[in-house]
Amino acid sequence: MNLLEVASQDIDGSVREYFPSNSNWLGIDIGPGKKVDLVIQKTH
């Protein structure tokens, strides 16, 4: 299963534990952090 997690930074836990362990994740957020694969910069 391929999953996109928006606002993926793990601060107080993650939704990833509720999905199959063999899932492929792409985590995006506005800043770097734990479980963030891609940082999206604000454009304006």
The whole-number pLDDT of residue 37 equals 98
1-44 pLDDT per residue, tens: 999 999 999 999 999 999 999 999 999 999 999 999 999 988 87
pLDDT on residue 38: 98
Q: What is the pTM of this model?
A: 0.81
Domain chopping of the chain, boundaries: 2-39
Amino acid 43: pLDDT: 81
Specify the DSSP class assigned to residue 42.
P
Look at residue 42 in the predicted model and tell me its pLDDT: 80
Q: What pLDDT shows up at residue 5?
A: 97
- Long-range contacts of range 21-24, CB-CB < 8 Å, 24 or more positions apart? none
DSSP letter assigned to residue 26: E
